[in-house]
């Protein structure tokens, strides 16, 4: 498990796969050692942090589904 990092400063961006119709949206932020993912509607309800390699594997798996 990665150590806790301050995720208030990274530039959060909306996933390119999130629609503009108010549906489910995911935001992603890059830090020097982690990729953080959160729900754009509930950003204070938790953040998933992954290593860049794990995030790339996750995205590859989701894209193949």
Burial class (CB in 10 A: 0-12, 13-18, 19+), 4: exposed
Q: pLDDT for 36-65, tens place per residue?
A: 999 888 888 999 999 999 999 988 998 887
Give the single-character DSSP code of 7: -
User: Does 19 map to a domain?
Assistant: no
Tell whether the model's pLDDT for residue 29 goes beyond 50: yes
Question: In the β-sheet with 48-50, what is the strand arrangement from edge to edge?
Answer: 13-14, 26-30, 35-39, 48-50
Please give the mean pLDDT across all residues of the chain: 81
Kindly report the number of other CB atoms within 10 A of residue 34's CB atom.
21
User: Does 13 map to a domain?
Assistant: no
User: Does 30 map to a domain?
Assistant: yes
Cα(43)–Cα(65) distance, integer angstroms: 26
Q: Which domain holds residue 55?
A: 24-60
Q: Give the total number of structural domains in the chain.
A: 1
């Amino acid at each position: 498990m990665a150590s806790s990092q301050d995720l208030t400063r990274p530039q959060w961006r909306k996933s390119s796969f999130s629609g503009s119709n108010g549906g489910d949206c995911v935001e992603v932020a890059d830090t020097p050692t982690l990729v953080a993912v959160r729900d754009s509607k509930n950003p204070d309800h938790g953040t998933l942090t992954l290593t860049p390699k794990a995030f790339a594997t996750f995205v590859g798996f989701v894209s193949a589904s």
